[in-house]
Amino acid sequence: MYFENIATLTLSSPFLYQSEPNSTGNALRKCLIVRYGEIALKGKNRERFEKTLERNMRKSLEIRGIESKFKRIRGRILAYTSSEEAEKVISKIPGVVSVSLAEEMSYDELFQFLANKLSGMGKKRFKVDTKRVDKSFPKTSIEINREVGSYLKEKLNWEVDLENPQVTVNLEVINGRVYYFTEKVRGPGGLPVGTQGRVVSLVSTGIDSPVATYLMMKRGCEPILLHFDRGTEREFRRIVDLLSEYHYDIEYLVEEQKEFPKYVKKLDEIGKREWTCVLCKYMMLKRAEEIAKKKKALGIVTGDNLGQVASQTLENIYLVSKATSHPVYRPLIGMDKVEIENLAKRIGTYEHFTKDKCEFRPRRVVTRGREEDFSSILAELGMLE
Binding site for Mg ion (CB under 5 A): 204, 206, 356
Q: Which pairing describes strands 167-174 and 177-181: parallel, antiparallel, or unpaired?
A: antiparallel
Residues making up the chain, counted from first to last: 385
Q: Interface residues for ligand ATP in 77-106 (CB under 6 A)?
A: none
Whose Cβ is closer to Mg ion: residue 339's or residue 356's? Answer: 356
Q: Residues 16, 3: contact at Cβ < 8 Å?
A: yes
Query: Shortest distance, CB of residue 291 to Mg ion, whole angstroms?
Result: 20
- Segment near ligand ATP (CB under 6 A), from 137-145, 155-163, 199-207, 262-270? 199-207
Query: Shortest distance, CB of residue 344 to ligand ATP, whole angstroms?
Result: 9
Note the helical H segments in the chain. Answer: 4-9, 46-62, 86-90, 107-118, 141-156, 208-218, 233-243, 260-269, 276-295, 314-321, 337-347, 371-380
Whose Cβ is closer to Mg ion: residue 108's or residue 356's? Answer: 356
Contact partner, 203, from ligand ATP, Mg ion, none, Cβ < 5-8 Å per class:
ligand ATP
**Can residue 206 be called a binding residue for ligand ATP (CB under 6 A)?**
yes
Residue closest to ligand ATP (Cβ): 206
Contact partner, 202, from Mg ion, ligand ATP, none, Cβ < 5-8 Å per class:
ligand ATP
Query: Shortest distance, CB of residue 202 to ligand ATP, whole angstroms?
Result: 3
The backbone torsions φ and ψ at residue 11, rounded to the nearest 5 degrees and listed phi first, read: -55, -35
Contacts 24+ apart (CB under 8 A), 308-314: 308/208, 308/337, 310/365, 310/367, 311/277, 311/278, 311/281, 311/365, 311/366, 311/367, 313/367, 313/368
* Total Cβ atoms within 10 A of residue 105: 21
**Can residue 208 be called a binding residue for ligand ATP (CB under 6 A)?**
yes
Contact partner, 284, from Mg ion, ligand ATP, none, Cβ < 5-8 Å per class:
ligand ATP
Measured between alpha carbons, how far is 358 from 232 in angstroms, rounded to an integer?
A: 10
Contact partner, 209, from Mg ion, ligand ATP, none, Cβ < 5-8 Å per class:
ligand ATP
User: Contact letters (x/-) for ligand ATP, 221-250, by CB under 6 A?
Assistant: -----xxx-x--------------------
Contact partner, 104, from Mg ion, ligand ATP, none, Cβ < 5-8 Å per class:
none
Whose Cβ is closer to ligand ATP: residue 173's or residue 284's? Answer: 284
Whose Cβ is closer to Mg ion: residue 183's or residue 336's? Answer: 336
**Can residue 289 be called a binding residue for ligand ATP (CB under 6 A)?**
no
The backbone torsions φ and ψ at residue 65, rounded to the nearest 5 degrees and listed phi first, read: 75, 20
* SS3 assignment, position 234: helix
* SS3 assignment, position 31: strand
Q: Residues 244, 338: contact at Cβ < 8 Å?
A: no
**Can residue 339 be called a binding residue for ligand ATP (CB under 6 A)?**
no
Query: Shortest distance, CB of residue 368 to ligand ATP, whole angstroms?
Result: 15
Nearest to residue 71, comparing CAs of 116, 19, 34, 42? 34
**Can residue 172 be called a binding residue for ligand ATP (CB under 6 A)?**
no
User: Contact letters (x/-) for ligand ATP, 293-312, by CB under 6 A?
Assistant: ---------xxx---xx-xx
Whose Cβ is closer to Mg ion: residue 190's or residue 206's? Answer: 206
Measured between alpha carbons, how far is 282 from 285 in angstroms, rounded to an integer?
A: 5
Contact partner, 304, from ligand ATP, Mg ion, none, Cβ < 5-8 Å per class:
ligand ATP
Contacts of 193 (CB under 8 A, 6+ apart): 52, 56, 94, 95, 217, 220, 221, 222, 246, 247
**Can residue 316 be called a binding residue for ligand ATP (CB under 6 A)?**
no
Query: Shortest distance, CB of residue 331 to Mg ion, whole angstroms?
Result: 16
Nearest to residue 273, comparing CAs of 381, 184, 146, 170? 381
The letter for the amino acid at 199 is V
Q: Residues 198, 252: contact at Cβ < 8 Å?
A: no
Q: Which residues bind ligand ATP (CB under 6 A)?
A: 202-204, 206-209, 226-228, 230, 281, 284, 302-304, 308-309, 311-312, 356
